[in-house]
A and B are shown apart, each in its own frame.
Chain A
Amino acid sequence: MIQVSGIFKMFRSGRGKVFALKEISFSVEKGSSLILAGKSGSGKTTLLNCIGGLEKPEKGNVICAGEQIHSLSGKALSRFQRRRIGFVFQSGNLLSYLNVMENIEFPMALNEIKGKRRHGRVSELLDAVGLAGAGSAMPFELSAGETQRVAFARAIAHSPSILLADEPTANLDSENGRQLINLMFSLSRESGCTMVVATHDAEIIHPAPHKLFLKDGQIEDAI
């Protein structure tokens, strides 16, 4: 489902050239989950961005759901992202001018899911993440845990085949973090989507069956 082959990613900064990713290769089976573990600055977010098409590697290939995503045109990449990928950002990144319901509807609107189907799906997701009464709330009215749950609901609203989550529990306390992770794993298992989660949270890393440890942009260990 996801096949990453020999990708390099380099940034130019005040410190000169920095290699964020060096010769990374791995694959993730359809419907399974992979944890990208590592310290801050190890390249987890950059790798996730390369998989999701948010970043283009200097070298190497990323094949997601049969598409070589970095060979796609801008429009084709957008089409691929909106249909196939769901993204959970570290700090939720809800659209500030849309309420909870509209945020969840956004990817469905992009995919032209309309009417009762869309409303039904929103209600279903709000129930699933425990925010049934919060549809009209604006993002600034939500706690960090609620924000992440809405972000997760938004990421899976259009039933993507790939879910990418970047430090989803970073801003949460352990209880909220555990709840969110359990929710993420159970819902993505139900929907059969492939999930890649970048984290340095030991509570997530330990129980996960498939793990990739990154250090200084390279794979240190793979389980």
Chain B
Amino acid sequence: MTPPLVSLRFIFHMGFLYVWRSWRSTLVLAAMVFTAVAALVFLSALAVGTNDAMIRNSVGLFSGHITGDNIPAADVPHISNIKGVKYVLPRWQRPAWLKNRENKNYVILMGIRPDLEKKAAALWKKTVDGRFPEAEEASIYLSEFESRRLNVKVGDTVHIRFDDGSPEIELKACGTYRTGISFLDQGIAFCPADVFPSAGGTMSVAVFLEEGIDAEKFMKKNAHLASGMNLKTWSQFMPDLKQLIDLNHVSMGIVMILVFCIVSMGISCAFIIFIVKNMREHGIMKAMGIAPYESALLILTQVMLLTGFASLSGTMTGALAVAGFGRVGIDLTSFTSYNPYFVVSGIIYPRLTFYSVVLPSFLAILFGCLGALWPMVYVIRSRAADVLRSI
């Protein structure tokens, strides 16, 4: 094999001088790549943040990241001790008749630990009248819908009767709430666990994980610890949310591809112009003895240097913007106030992922190189005189 004619260092040096000294073209083209990459990094982080917000809202309101039914009371400490678990909220439930004068309704009565619920979940924030129950208080917390059906106002006494013949109890309505989510607004009522007539030693639990821990991965990792328990992740008990997030991923993927296509076409075309305007110089260099593949390598180096620098700056700027907005959040409450997936907060915190950092730069460089392909092929295939004549 014959040795290469000139060193890569020489080609890199020439490419750098070209990009550096054609500073006006470089600046315009770099600004285009920079803006596109920065915007796409931020957009993709925003999409991830929107999905995060939906999950955070949906699990944070009441259910937690993982729920379990028929869990023996003795197992709860085990769950609490698993690394990554922030809170475990025990909940007891049994069907009951609620009665106020002539009005009665069949609901699931849920015994809760009010102090823990206020720490971990956000149901108490959805109070529309009165307040959330307090520990050891003989009170009941009703949805606005149920209170209307029973014609109960805050301060009224509600009679609770069970089908199994347990003695009837009386609880005072301490507050009403509205979430906009049907399974929480209809057919359910809450009272402190201390006054809940327990039906046995099993309970349901809501497990809240530490920030940033993926529920599915957590379950897989701790399968041995949770064996025998009927635990489900949010994606299993909220398939609608899972589907919506998957749909978001797909639609955001399509949007990103379309945006990339449009931006990339622009980048490719701009690069063709950038290279072709100086095509004559490649003809001159060929006449002086630069080999065809060296000319192609030089074009590729120029494009890589320019897109590489612009992409890196764009990624850093996009990431900085994400870091800034990720700290304070973007308040979109006015667009989400009627949306059941944003019941707690409409604030979105953009978040970077590996793909949102790498993909925009990668595609900008790829399409920049694709833009350089035609001039490269032209320089390789044409004789010096043809290159000089064609411009």
Chain A contacts to B: CB under 8 angstroms: 46, 49, 52-56, 74-75, 78-83, 85, 87, 89, 93, 95-98, 102, 106-107, 109-110, 138
In the assembled complex, which residues on chain B have CB atoms less than 8 Å from the CB atom of A95? Answer: 281, 284-285
Partner of B284 from A53, A83, A93 at Cβ < 8 Å = A93
- A-B pairs, top 6 by smallest CB distance, nearest first, are A82-B289, A81-B289, A78-B291, A54-B385, A97-B21, A54-B384
Partner of A87 from B2, B20, B281, B288 at Cβ < 8 Å = B288
Shortest Cβ distance from residue A137 to the other chain B in the assembled complex, whole angstroms: 13
In the assembled complex, which residues on chain B have CB atoms less than 8 Å from the CB atom of A53? Answer: 384
Partner of B22 from A80, A97, A109 at Cβ < 8 Å = A97
B17-A55 in contact (CB<8A): no
Shortest Cβ distance from residue B51 to the other chain A in the assembled complex, whole angstroms: 47
In the assembled complex, which residues on chain B have CB atoms less than 8 Å from the CB atom of A106? Answer: 285, 288
Q: Chain B residue with minimal CB distance to A98?
A: B17
State the CA gap A108–B206 with chains docked (Å): 76
State the CA gap A73–B285 with chains docked (Å): 17
**Binary contact track B5-33/A, C-beta < 8 Å → 1, others 0:** 11000100000011011100000000000
**At the interface, yes or no: B199 with Cβ under 8 Å from chain A?**
no
19 contacts between A and B (CB under 8 A): A46-B385, A49-B384, A52-B287, A53-B384, A55-B385, A78-B5, A78-B286, A78-B289, A79-B5, A79-B289, A79-B291, A80-B289, A81-B289, A89-B287, A97-B17, A97-B21, A98-B17, A102-B17, A106-B288
Given contacts A52-B287, A106-B288, A110-B290, A75 and B383 within 8 Å (CB-CB): no
**At the interface, yes or no: B64 with Cβ under 8 Å from chain A?**
no
**Binary contact track B45-65/A, C-beta < 8 Å → 1, others 0:** 000000000000000000000
**At the interface, yes or no: B76 with Cβ under 8 Å from chain A?**
no
- Which of A52, A53, A78, A80 has the most C-beta atoms of chain B within 10 angstroms of its own C-beta? A78
**At the interface, yes or no: B388 with Cβ under 8 Å from chain A?**
yes
State the CA gap A107–B284 with chains docked (Å): 11
Chain B contacts to A: CB under 8 angstroms: 2, 5-6, 10, 17-18, 20-22, 278, 280-281, 284-292, 294, 383-385, 388
State the CA gap A55–B291 with chains docked (Å): 15
Q: Chain B residue with minimal CB distance to A55?
A: B385
State the CA gap A203–B280 with chains docked (Å): 30
Q: Chain A residue with minimal CB distance to B294?
A: A78
A110-B289 in contact (CB<8A): yes
Partner of A75 from B5, B17, B288, B388 at Cβ < 8 Å = B5
State the CA gap A114–B62 with chains docked (Å): 75
A107-B280 in contact (CB<8A): no
B18-A75 in contact (CB<8A): no
State the CA gap A129–B153 with chains docked (Å): 103
Shortest Cβ distance from residue B378 to the other chain A in the assembled complex, whole angstroms: 15
Task: Summarize A's interface: helix, strand, loop or mixed.
Answer: helix
A97-B289 in contact (CB<8A): no
In the assembled complex, which residues on chain A have CB atoms less than 8 Å from the CB atom of B288? Answer: 81-82, 87, 106-107, 110
State the CA gap A187–B278 with chains docked (Å): 31
- Which of B6, B18, B289 has the most C-beta atoms of chain A within 10 angstroms of its own C-beta? B289
In the assembled complex, which residues on chain A have CB atoms less than 8 Å from the CB atom of B383? Answer: 54-56
In the assembled complex, which residues on chain B have CB atoms less than 8 Å from the CB atom of A46? Answer: 385
A96-B281 in contact (CB<8A): yes
In the assembled complex, which residues on chain A have CB atoms less than 8 Å from the CB atom of B287? Answer: 52, 54, 81, 87, 89
Q: A54-B287, A81-B288 are in contact. List 14 more A-B contacts (CB 8 A).
A: A49-B384, A54-B388, A55-B385, A56-B383, A75-B291, A78-B5, A78-B289, A79-B291, A93-B280, A96-B22, A96-B278, A102-B17, A107-B289, A110-B290
State the CA gap A75–B287 with chains docked (Å): 13
State the CA gap A49–B286 with chains docked (Å): 12
In the assembled complex, which residues on chain B have CB atoms less than 8 Å from the CB atom of A109? Answer: 6, 10
In the assembled complex, which residues on chain A have CB atoms less than 8 Å from the CB atom of B290? Answer: 78, 82, 110
In the assembled complex, which residues on chain A have CB atoms less than 8 Å from the CB atom of B281? Answer: 95-97
Shortest Cβ distance from residue A141 to the other chain B in the assembled complex, whole angstroms: 13
B22-A110 in contact (CB<8A): no
- Which of A54, A81, A107 has the most C-beta atoms of chain B within 10 angstroms of its own C-beta? A54
Partner of B6 from A49, A80, A83, A110 at Cβ < 8 Å = A110
In the assembled complex, which residues on chain B have CB atoms less than 8 Å from the CB atom of A81? Answer: 287-289
State the CA gap A110–B14 with chains docked (Å): 12
Given contacts A95-B281, A109-B10, A49 and B385 within 8 Å (CB-CB): yes
State the CA gap A79–B284 with chains docked (Å): 15
Shortest Cβ distance from residue B375 to the other chain A in the assembled complex, whole angstroms: 16
B284-A89 in contact (CB<8A): yes
In the assembled complex, which residues on chain B have CB atoms less than 8 Å from the CB atom of A93? Answer: 280, 284, 388
State the CA gap A79–B289 with chains docked (Å): 6
